[in-house]
Amino acid sequence: MNISKMRFLLTLTACLFASVVLLAQDKQQKPSDNQFEFNTSSVQLNVDDSSQVTIRLLDKAGKPVKQPFLVYARGNQASRSLTVRPRSSDSSGTLKTTLIAHRPGTFNLTVRTVGNRENRIEMAIPVEIAFPPLQKIDLSGVPERLFTGTTISLAARVFDAKNFLRDDAEVAFSSSDDDVASFDAFGNLTAHQAGKVTITATAGQIRNSVALDVAKNPVVNVALQSNVEQARTGDVIHFQATAFNKLGQPEQDAPIQLSFVARPDDDRGAPASGQIEPDGRFVADTPGLYTIVATSGPNAARATVRIVPRNVQQDIEVVGHGLVPDVFTSDLWVWQGVDGRDYAVTGTWVARGEAFFWDVTDPTNIQLIDTVTVDARTVNDVKVSEDGRICVITREGASNRRNGIVILDVSNPRDVKVLSAYDDELTGGVHNAFIYENHVYAVNNGQRYDIINIEDPAKPYRVGRFELDTPGHSIHDVWIEDGIAYSSNWDDGVQLVDIGGATSGAPFRKFGEAVNPEFGSVLAGSGSPSNPVKMTSYTYPSGWNHAAFPFKSQSANKFYVVAGDEAFPYGDNTFDYAPTIAAGWLHFVDFTDLNNPREVARFEPPLTGSHNFWVEDDILYAAFYNGGLRVVDVSGELMGDLYRQGREIAWFMPSSRESLIPNVPMVWGPQPYKGLIYFSDFHSGLWAVRLVPKGQKSSE
């Protein structure tokens, strides 16, 4: 019997024994008649107000039950809207907790006992935070003058007395003289004749009015040019539209609207889709002929481009597999050892606190060579230093609740040595970590990352930390490139923090450009491991920001950060050992302009959600949980829906009858390494695969 099968049988025996014990306990610990009592049936608050709620756990006779319990807010962005402090009781069975309102909305104050899921008691009361009164309307898109026969689109943003943007407020537009200019039902303003007009935006009891001059349209001609006549799906084409007067001079004030019509190559009724921006950028999702139309009043110009298939598809073939049949596998790291051989380390999740070390020098014969066991349930993250000598593993669920990180000597991966453990103020659990220039950046208790000096790995010590000050802030991951830390902070999005990289202007100076002295005077030298300084950030509405990866696109002279979601809106079936479907996608944020980051593209395969990912040489390697491994072409300028554009090079669904959940893919994280793609699968362990030309067999 091989070691893996023996380990599996031992674990199965232990699980069966534990199940018998739990069943016996359940007979003694039936769901009781205990219930929670609140001193109020509901809570009403205004923004910035607070209220105290008393909660007691009582038995059926109305006497206090001396058992600890948890209390927290539930609802859309509840953690950012409502602070609950404290969030846990002692063993007295009574808790006085304070609620602090930050943002309007309706939430539940939920309380539940600690213990087996089957025996938990849970109750909730509603909490309503009132919307402040509306205060102002900001108008954008209003020109100094408008030409007859042209149409513009106005945008209005409504703010309340607490300066919250109120997307729920309905805005109505009106004109003082519809003969001069009038609105349609969607806020589009069309000029009919020369004159003066006042336009007004109204929301509830507030309004904003702007006077506008309408002039006779001087435009007699519109020209439209592009930089190419043929492109692939996913290529961004730049169109330049110009309006001219009768003297042949450009009219800069003339509004020009861009649209397109398409004739797809597919004659079976398939849609021809694409995206065009007001600045003239256009991208097509499907092959065909696309005619771009530029209009300014009655004047129009057209330009046609042919879009051909991107044709980047390849196959994936399996090279090797290191099976982990009895526990869930978490993250991985692959590196070249000091002896010149290739190695990998994988973590484990809700198991025995193990990290597995593998020899992958021959990827067709991946061998387990050592196991390190620490006091933890989960070893979620594993990282190896650039010189291949130090490995850091994270700990969660330690029996003594000390958690923290463990620092290992991996100079000889066949005989890994524990050098030290660091848990000072890291008792809440370290979920992720990163090693950069003799420092470990450890994500601590989901709240901040602590920065730990490991110049002497046997004697680590803290030198700094970074934590946001927003209500309900949290953090999941941190990644470091060129002295800039990219942390993923859920509702607070991606945070870019200088830990020394801004000294060289990295990564925001233009390609090939020397350091800008003005930029340096603001940021150079200000950030360091002992003094991390926030530079900029980007948030998006879902609040699912789970991971981030920066990359410079040499082919587009752009600097992007990929921000990845993680969500399980359909439920997480992990503890039922059944398939789970994830949700979310990858957001591509253009950070080329430090002060104006903007989301420009997405990659969203259907019926799955992202986890960890890596970009190298304009290729994205992404784990999409139940959607497997995805390999994506991210070369050139990025815009629109990358999945629909045919940029996916290949995808692979790992399958093993011997895995923890047989034949159910759940890809956790990939890493490209020496021409191969290594990835960890939550259910089945470590894999090595390679890209091959379409239809080519390994024997070819």
Per-residue pLDDT tens digits for 176-205: 999 999 999 998 999 999 999 999 999 999
Question: Of 685, 678, 675, 623, nearest to 334 (Cα)?
Answer: 678
CA 529/CA 453 separation, integer angstroms: 9
Beta carbons of 684 and 663 less than 8 angstroms apart: no
Q: 14 pLDDT exceeds 80?
A: no
SS percent in the chain: helix, strand, coil, step 5: 5, 50, 45
Per-residue pLDDT reduced to its tens digit, 68-80: 899 999 988 888 8
How many domains does the chain fold into? 4
The reply to whether 5 falls in a domain is no
Q: How confident is the model at residue 594 (pLDDT cuts 50, 70, 90)?
A: confident
CA dist., res. 95 & res. 57, Å (int): 9
- Has residue 516 got a pLDDT over 70? no
Residues 599 and 541 in one domain: yes
Parallel, antiparallel, or unpaired for β 230-232 and 299-308? parallel
Burial class (CB in 10 A: 0-12, 13-18, 19+), 497: buried
Task: Please report whether residue 338 resides in a domain.
Answer: yes
Boundary (domain end) residue, out of 308, 336, 352 = 308
CATH code of the domain containing 378: 2.130.10.10
**First-last CA distance in the chain:** 35
User: Do 342 and 265 fall within a single domain?
Assistant: no
In whole angstroms, give the CA distance from residue 312 to residue 310: 6
* CATH number for position 40: 2.60.40.10
Q: Provide the pLDDT for residue 24.
A: 37
Given 184, 215, 246, the domain boundary residue is 215
Same domain membership, residue 293 and residue 173: no
Q: Mark whether 618 and 547 lie in a shared domain.
A: yes
Cβ atoms 152, 175 nearer than 8 A: no
Q: Give the pLDDT confidence score for residue 339 in this predicted structure.
A: 97
296/241 Cα distance (integer angstroms): 10
User: Backbone dihedral region of 404: left (phi > 0), alpha (psi from -120 to 50 degrees) or beta?
Assistant: left
Q: What is the C-alpha to C-alpha distance for residues 348 and 380, in angstroms, rounded to an integer?
A: 6
Read off the pLDDT band of 515 (50, 70, 90): low
- Residue 15 in any domain: the answer is no
Instruction: List, for residues 430-456, the tens digit of each pLDDT value.
Output: 999 999 999 999 999 889 999 999 999
In a domain, 2, yes or no: no
Between CA 551 and CA 74 the distance in angstroms is: 36
Question: Under 8 Å CB-to-CB from 647, ≥6 apart: which residues?
Answer: 233, 234, 310, 312, 603, 632, 633, 634
- Alpha-carbon distance of 460 to 431, in angstroms, equals 18
Specify the 3-state DSSP secondary structure of 349: strand
Identify whether residues 478 and 432 lie together within a single domain: yes
CATH number assigned to the domain comprising residue 178: 2.60.40.1080
Helix (H) or strand (E) holding 220: strand 219-226
Residues 340, 277 share a domain = no
* Contact indicator for 2, 10 with CB cutoff of 8 Å: no
The verdict on 393 and 360 lying in the same domain is yes
pLDDT of residue 581: 96
Residue 57 has pLDDT above 50, yes or no: yes
Task: Let me know whether 347 and 301 are in one domain.
Answer: no
Torsion angle of the four alpha carbons 512, 586, 441, 679, in this order, in degrees rounded to the nearest 10: -100
Q: Is the pLDDT of residue 271 over 80?
A: no
Q: What pLDDT digit, counting tens, does each position of 623-668 carry?
A: 999 999 999 999 999 999 999 999 999 999 999 999 999 999 999 9
Task: Please give the average per-residue pLDDT across 607-625, as a whole number.
Answer: 97
Residues 346 and 413 in one domain: yes
CA dihedral (14, 20, 22, 24) positive or negative? negative
- Alpha-carbon distance 296 to 149, whole Å? 8
Q: What is the pLDDT of residue 23?
A: 38
Quote the strand ranges of 216-313, DSSP E.
219-226, 230-232, 237-245, 257-264, 274-276, 281-284, 288-296, 299-308
For the cut 90, the answer to whether the pLDDT of residue 523 exceeds it is no
Q: Which residues contact 397 (CB under 8 A, 6 or more apart)?
A: 350, 353, 376, 377, 378, 403, 429
Q: Which of 161, 184, 215 is the last residue of a domain?
A: 215
Average pLDDT, the chain: 90
**Residue 646's domain spans which residues?**
314-693
Model confidence at 428: pLDDT above 90: no
**Residues 357 and 442 both lie in one domain:** yes
Query: Helix, strand or coil for residue 4?
Result: helix
Contact 236, 639 (CB under 8 A): yes
Q: What was the pLDDT predicted at 504?
A: 59
What does the pLDDT read at residue 501? 82
Longest dimension (CA), the chain: 94
Q: How far apart are CA 698 and CA 347, in angstroms?
A: 30
Q: Is the pLDDT of residue 510 over 80?
A: no
- Determine the pLDDT at residue 575: 83
Residues 117 and 181 in one domain: no
Regarding whether 666 and 651 lie in a shared domain, the answer is: yes
Distance CA 92, CA 65 (A): 7
What is the helix (H) or strand (E) element at residue 652, kind and residue range?
strand 648-652
Separation CA 318–CA 692 (nearest Å): 10
Q: State mean pLDDT over 325-331.
A: 97
- Residue pointed to by tokens 């003297």: 247
Question: Residue 700: inside a domain, yes or no?
Answer: no
Give CA–CA dist 91/81, Å, rounded.
28
Give the up-direction half-sphere exposure of residue 655: CA atoms within 13 A in the CB hemisphere.
5
Secondary structure (3-state) at 227: coil
Assess if residue 23 is contained within a domain: no
At 554, is the pLDDT very low, low, confident or very high (cuts 50, 70, 90)?
confident
pLDDT at 697: 66
Beta strand ranges found along 542-585 (DSSP E): 545-553, 558-565
Backbone angles phi, psi at 617, to 5 degrees: 50, 45
What does the pLDDT read at residue 22? Answer: 37
Please determine, for residue 499, whether its predicted confidence score (pLDDT) is greater than 70. yes
pLDDT computed for residue 91 by the predictor = 84
Task: Give, as one character, the DSSP assignment of residue 502.
Answer: G
Query: 234 burial class (0-12, 13-18, 19+ CB within 10 angstroms)?
Result: buried
> Is 469 inside a domain boundary?
yes
Averaged pLDDT, 89-106: 93
- Provide the pLDDT for residue 595: 84
Digit-coded pLDDT (tens) for 292-326: 999 999 999 999 999 999 999 999 999 999 999 99
Q: Answer for the pair 155, 139: CB distance below 8 angstroms, yes or no.
A: yes
**What are the start-end ranges of the H helices in 502-581?**
517-523
Q: Residue 197 and residue 642: Cα distance in Å, rounded? A: 44
Q: What pLDDT is attached to residue 513?
A: 58
Asked if the structure places residue 41 within a domain, the reply is yes
Burial class (CB in 10 A: 0-12, 13-18, 19+), 50: exposed
